[in-house]
Structure 1
Amino acid sequence: MIRVLVVDDEELVRSGLRMILEVASDIVVAAEARDGTEALAAVARHRPDVVLMDVRMPGMDGLSAAVEMSRMAEPPKVVMLTTFDLDEYVHTALRAGAVGFLLKDTPPRDLVAAVHTVAAGNAMLAPAVTKRLISSFAERGPTRSEHARKRLTELTAREYEVVCAIARGLSNAEIGRELTMSEATVKAHVSRSLAKLGLDNRVQAAILVHDADLL
């Protein structure tokens, strides 16, 4: 069972998200919160697998809460909710450890699929809007690109191929088919690559590749 925490300052939005998510037999909304402060307390108390959290809220906003959650010993997988498809706060949240973001008008079926995706350990890179965000807000320039490329030289040739595939939005299964390896082997390469690069998740790896301007 996938346990989800829904965080939004509007009760109507929270209720709507709960109704959508709990249609799935393997998802339960473990708790709701109205702002970042309540969200942090709810994570500590209910230990959700996934947090769906609004970016903009009174008091502690979603960005600040995402940063705090990333510092927890066992952080949940955070997906930011926003009404803006090119919101600079979302990019900052990705760098803080969030695994992706969704627009609030995401179709119900896609929302449920997104929860399944992040719960399985994959980043929200498939939606076109996420790719636009990474492409638009990745901080490039000669110095940053050079630094990103230097970091990537720490990887083996195979690890480099896997990380570039992640940046293209491929899932572990898709990477396995493309590079002719088992999904378990792909997962091992992903874990080793993240450890070598000092990164927390696949989204940060994708941003690094985009920073290096290699796609």
Structure 2
Amino acid sequence: MLLVDPAPMHRSGLRMVLAAAGGASRAGTIGSAGGGPGGAAGHADDAAGGAAAPEIVVVGETGDGAEAVELARRLLPDVLITEIALPRLDGHAVARAVSQGGLPVRVLILTDHDSDEEVLAAITAGAGGFLRKDAPAHEVTAAVRAVAVGGAVITPMVLARILARVAEALPAPETTTTSKLDALTDREREVLVHLARGHSNAEIAGALLVSETTIKTHVGHVLTKLRLRDRTQAVVLAYETGLVKPGS
């Protein structure tokens, strides 16, 4: 875990929250240098099966955006948690540098700046999660674990605003093109619908009466075929194409 915030007190408080959540676990490590998302995903599967959740370890911290990118390249933490307002490079630029650099590092934005523009900019830049700083400690640690294994997390109230905005921008149903979805099988479309409704892999597996491993495979195929980076982009595309409509 790499912490990036210009306020030392904020970094200290976040470090304490993460230490309290992860210190008692021994199943694995989120945040260890060179750990990589693949290893974290394996530990998450163990946790789902009843073993302890991966330990959360802070491997570095900084209050500077440019230094954050350098530390990300050198330490390769599973997750980089960053504020938006930073010296030299802001949080969006940090997320963009990590994403475009092909680093096996996921970015979680933790900020008080939650305007629609900030959220959309974060998603576009490649962030895998967006939370307000006033989120409860358990939501922060849950978001860290979810982002570490490739999930996407957005504060519920913020997500509701964003989806409403996406809905307003959608074309009329009769003019909506679904050609982007032609590459998907019927089952993959079903999975995409569930993703757009915010369902977890476990919930989708239960609804479709298949294993969670099968769902993970389908999700991977959906992202690959549609050339999407993560689940957040999949949700947006599902609404843009009219596959899922607001309130459905």
Match of 1:128 among 129, 151, 156: 156
User: C-alpha separation between the residues in 2 aligned to 1:166 and 1:22?
Assistant: 31
Q: Which of 3, 6, 9 is the matching residue for 1:6?
A: 3
Kindly report the root-mean-square deviation, in angstroms, between the aligned alpha carbons of the 2 structures.
Answer: 2.0
The question of 1:17 aligning with 2:45 is answered no
Q: Note if contact 2:113-2:132 (Cα within 8 Å) is conserved in structure 1.
A: yes
The reply to whether residue 28 of structure 1 matches residue 57 of structure 2 is: yes
Give yes or no for contact 2:2–2:58 (8 Å, CA) kept in 1: yes
Q: What is the aligned counterpart of 1:112 among 141, 148, 152?
A: 141
2:226 to 189, 197, 212: 197
Q: Are the aligned partners of 2:196 and 2:235 in contact in 1 as well (CA < 8 Å)?
A: yes
Q: Which TM-score applies when normalising by structure 2? A: 0.78
Q: Superposition pairs for residues 144-155 of structure 1, below 5 Å?
A: 146-147=176-177, 149-155=178-184
The residue number in structure 2 matching 1:68 is 97
Match of 2:86 in 1: 57
* 1:212 Cα deviation after fit: 2.4
The letter for the 1-side match of 2:176 is E
Q: Percent identity?
A: 41
Task: Assess, with a 3 A threshold, how the Cα gap between structure 1 residues 79 and 155 changes in structure 2: closer, same or farther.
Answer: same
Inter-partner Cα distance in structure 2 for 1:166 and 1:55: 27
- The alpha carbon displacement at 1:137 in A equals 4.2
For structure 2, list consecutive stretches of 5 or more residues without a partner in the other structure: 24-54
Number of residue pairs matched by the alignment: 210
Assess if the C-alpha contact under 8 Å between 1:9 and 1:58 holds in 2: yes
C-alpha distance in structure 2 between counterparts of 1:88 and 1:14, whole Å: 25
The structure with the larger Rg is 2
User: Does the Cα contact within 8 Å between 1:55 and 1:90 map onto a contact in 2?
Assistant: no
Counterpart-to-counterpart distance in 2, 1:47 and 1:100: 18
Structure 1: which 4+ aligned runs deviate by more than 4 Å?
none
Kept in 2: contact 1:91–1:133 (CA 8 A): no
Q: 5+ residue gaps in structure 1?
A: none
Q: SS where residue 22 of structure 1 aligns?
A: helix
One-letter amino acid of the counterpart of residue 35, structure 1:
D
CA offset at residue 85 of structure 1? 3.5
1:182 alignment counterpart: 211
Q: Is the 8 A contact 2:93 2:125 kept in 1?
A: no
